[in-house]
């Protein structure tokens, strides 16, 4: 026989064998477990300047002079003094600006913002200040936005003024419109040359915030969250819930009510990593629990607040017997009452104490809170690891008993600690079942090998216990702990396993969410920004693709009667499938994590169709590439179509999935 013919025959047979090996059967005749509306969501923690200097649109740092260094963020000249008997009891400091005493001297305070103040030419910015003339009469304050480094004759980008009158504290507001765009502006407030003026809570917001709110969110960043189509929103953390010590834990009651009287709190992320140190990183609480609930309402997702269980950060406090580190179990009443009051704030009638606070803030209708997390990355100890006993679960039980007694429909979320496996995870997982929490929160920041080898993680979990919330996860590259395409693709692969196990996993949120390019402590992150621009990472688009195509019910998808989860013989393929009752679509997700293209066949049993839509996320460049501020759409999902072949009681898709590609197929039933 002709050797060339034999070679071609063998190649053809090998091709058929490869195709046969990658035949995936999707049973669209039988709907599986419901996919929860909360399946894919977002997790917010104030790390990487996510709140002040990020999502929260306030442009002035240390606006109430409450930092330990009261003039942090400010330059002062002339006769400026600090006072502490101001109109707000939780933020008592203010600045007295007296005449400089000479016609050529000036009293002025200048704020540098967060890594500068980003302003856009022609846009309006709302300046506000609480002020008075302590000796009575009138005074004028001049307000400038400036470019200190300009080579022009005038540093001013825009200016305005406010007229202050009387001895009583009042709020004054004006609009300033810069003439050009600049990302490193400063704000100057000039005192009157003839009258002493007191100023407090110096504030500057873009008029164009998310939904146009005065105490609003940065428009592009809030829009990016909305565009993720989240089903659940976990807030406010994270490790800041615990605090490095009890005094600096996140206390939700300090974050509601008038914004001028929300006390400053330390942010543990300003000092956690000395190699990424930000000594002026604090929490103003301008973005507080009311604003978080409001955002959940905007996005149409379920709020999931997390509260302190009385344990400060166990990483930073390894000896729980040290006095003052944790709240003794018999002294938890205040903490438990905070939890009960939070539910009342969210859901209570306007005639209740905390329901009235919500109503007074402009939201008489309840927020319909259904979920509450107790504790963050907490754990117990066994005899081999400290022998300190059930420090977390004994506290969790007290919270659980009190909350279930008053709010039996509320779903409680516990935790299996900071690790996805190991002694602490193995200790806590069965205890979550014993305590009958509704869900428990798993966290895993792991490398490429872990994500590729754990495609079946949830297939063997106990279905009789609590449901799972994958509350923090991301693929961290080995030696490359930053955003890049390859690790994002492996996250997509892992998420097919989350989706396949939707009967067990009810929530999943990538972490962290936000990072300022000049103020980050942790990478990778979903959304990056500077003072004016932002970009969405490839991981963001992975999350968005799943969230926008989560369907309503799982469909069985197998290859050789096995789940497609990167198993031996599956050539790096991962896949899952769902049906969407609202659109009458079968949705198949396929991730090819191999460095070679893979031929696949999708047998869509019970489907009659001739065409499918596709959404493809891949990249022809380096696997280390990522979107950037200058190239925000370098790697984005692309729409397409593919033809189907109609068979007997099924339709068939044959496709060649490129190497390192995530592809979604959407087929109308």
Active site residues: 377
What tokens were used for 211? 């939904």
- Give which of 522, 486, 506 is closest to 595, Cα–Cα: 486
Nearest-angstrom CA–CA distance, 230 and 222: 12
Which residues does residue 169 pair with via DSSP β-bridges, in sequence order?
Answer: none
DSSP H stretches of helix in 407-518 = 423-435, 448-453, 485-500
Q: Looking at residue 593, what DSSP letter applies?
A: -
Asked whether 377 and 417 are in contact (CB, 8 A), the reply is: yes
Residue 346 φ then ψ, to 5°: -75, -40
Q: Rounded CA gap, 113 and 178, in Å? A: 16
CA dist 378 and 398 (Å) reads 15
Q: How many residues does the chain have?
A: 669
Q: Which two tokens stand for residue 208?
A: 């164009």
**DSSP state string for 37-100:** TTSEEEE--S-SS-TBTTTB----TTTTS-SSSTTTTEEEESEEEEES--S-TTS--EEEEE--
How far apart, in whole angstroms, are the C-alpha atoms of residue 623 and residue 615?
19
Q: Cα separation of 473 and 505, whole Å?
A: 14
Cβ contact 354:293 at 8 Å: no
DSSP-derived secondary structure letter, 35: P
The answer to whether 214 touches 286, Cβ cutoff 8 Å, is no
* Residue 263 per-residue DSSP state: P
> In the beta sheet, which residues pair with residue 162?
141
Give residues with Cβ within 8 angstroms of 591, minimum separation 6: 489, 492, 493, 496, 573, 574, 575, 661, 662, 663
Locate 104 and state its tokens. Answer: 């050529």
CA distances in angstroms from 528 to 51, 482, 573, 618, listed in the order given: 13, 12, 30, 20
Three-class HEC string of 209-250: EHHHCCCCEEHHHHHHHHCCCCCEEEECCCHHHHCCCHHHCC
**How far lies 281's CA from each of 314, 336, 521, 523, 534, in Å?**
22, 29, 11, 17, 21
Nearest one of 157, 144, 68, 151 to 109, comparing CA atoms: 144
State the DSSP code for 477. Answer: B
Could you tell me if 219 and 227 are in contact, meaning their C-beta atoms sit under 8 angstroms apart? Answer: no
Tokens 């896949």: give the residue.
575
How far, in Å, CA of 455 to CA of 565, rounded? 5
CB 213 within 8 A of CB 139: no
Distance, CA of 361 to CA of 213 (rounded, Å): 13
Specify whether the CB–CB gap between 666 and 578 falls below 8 A.
no
Structure tokens at 147: 């470019």
Residues 388-409, buried b or exposed e (16+ Cβ, 10 A)? bebbbbebbbbbbebbeeebee
């Amino acid at each position: 026989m002709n050797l060339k013919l034999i070679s071609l025959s063998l190649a053809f047979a090998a091709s058929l064998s490869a195709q046969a090996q990658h035949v995936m059967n999707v049973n669209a005749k039988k709907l599986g477990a419901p996919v929860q509306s909360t399946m894919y969501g977002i997790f917010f923690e104030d790390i990487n300047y996510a709140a002040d200097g990020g999502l929260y649109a306030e442009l002035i740092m240390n606006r109430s002079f409450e930092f330990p260094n009261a003039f942090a963020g400010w330059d002062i000249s002339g006769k400026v003094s600090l006072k502490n008997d101001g109109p707000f009891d939780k933020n008592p400091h203010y600045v007295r600006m007296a005449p400089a005493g000479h016609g050529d001297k000036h009293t002025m305070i200048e704020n540098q913002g967060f890594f500068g103040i980003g302003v856009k030419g022609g846009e309006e910015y709302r300046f506000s200040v609480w002020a008075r003339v302590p000796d009575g009469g009138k005074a004028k304050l001049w307000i400038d936005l400036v470019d200190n480094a300009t080579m022009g004759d005038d540093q001013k980008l825009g200016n305005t003024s406010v007229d202050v009158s009387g001895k009583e504290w009042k709020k004054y507001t004006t609009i300033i419109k810069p003439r050009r765009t600049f990302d490193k502006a400063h704000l100057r407030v000039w005192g009157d040359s003839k009258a002493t003026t007191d100023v407090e809570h110096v504030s500057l917001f873009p008029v164009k915030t998310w939904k146009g709110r005065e105490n609003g969110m940065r428009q592009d960043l809030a829009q990016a969250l909305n565009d993720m189509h989240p089903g659940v929103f976990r807030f406010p953390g994270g490790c800041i819930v615990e605090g490095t010590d009890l005094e600096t834990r996140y206390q939700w009651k300090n974050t509601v009510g008038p914004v001028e009287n929300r006390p400053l709190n330390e942010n543990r992320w300003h000092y956690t990593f000395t190699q990424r140190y930000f000594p002026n990183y604090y929490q103003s609480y301008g973005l507080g629990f009311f604003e978080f609930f409001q955002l959940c309402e905007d996005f149409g997702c379920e709020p999931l607040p997390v509260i302190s269980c009385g344990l400060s950060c166990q990483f930073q406090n390894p000896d729980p017997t040290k006095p003052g580190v944790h709240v003794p179990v018999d002294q938890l009443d205040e903490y438990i009452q905070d939890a009960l009051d939070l539910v009342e704030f969210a859901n209570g009638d306007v005639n209740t104490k905390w329901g009235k606070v919500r109503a007074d803030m402009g939201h008489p209708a309840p927020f319909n809170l259904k979920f509450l997390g107790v504790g963050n990355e907490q754990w117990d100890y066994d005899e081999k690891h400290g022998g300190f006993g059930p420090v977390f679960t004994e506290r969790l039980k007290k919270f659980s008993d009190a909350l279930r007694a008053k709010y039996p429909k509320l779903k409680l979320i516990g935790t299996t600690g900071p690790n996805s496996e190991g002694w602490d995870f193995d200790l806590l997982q069965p205890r979550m079942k014993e305590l009958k929490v509704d869900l428990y929160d798993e966290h895993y920041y792991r490398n490429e090998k872990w994500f590729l080898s754990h495609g079946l993680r949830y297939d063997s979990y106990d279905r009789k216990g609590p449901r799972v919330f994958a509350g923090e996860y991301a693929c961290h590259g080995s030696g490359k702990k930053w955003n890049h395409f390859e690790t994002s693709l492996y996250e997509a692969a892992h998420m097919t396993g989350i989706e396949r196990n939707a009967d067990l996993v009810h929530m999943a949120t990538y972490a962290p969410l936000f990072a300022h390019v000049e103020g980050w402590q942790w990478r990778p992150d979903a959304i990056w920004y500077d003072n004016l621009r932002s970009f969405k990472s490839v991981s963001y688009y992975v999350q968005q693709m799943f969230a926008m195509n989560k369907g309503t019910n799982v469909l069985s998808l197998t290859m050789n009667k096995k789940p497609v989860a990167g198993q031996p013989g599956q050539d790096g393929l991962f896949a899952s499938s769902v049906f969407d009752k609202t659109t009458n679509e079968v949705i198949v997700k396929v991730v090819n994590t191999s460095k070679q293209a893979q031929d696949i066949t999708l047998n869509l049993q019970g489907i009659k169709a001739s065409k499918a839509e596709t959404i493809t996320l891949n990249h022809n460049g380096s696997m280390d590439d990522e979107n950037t501020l200058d190239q925000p759409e370098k790697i984005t999902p692309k729409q397409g179509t593919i033809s189907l072949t109609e068979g007997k009681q099924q339709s068939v898709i044959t496709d060649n999935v490129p190497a390192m590609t995530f592809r979604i197929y959407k087929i109308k039933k």
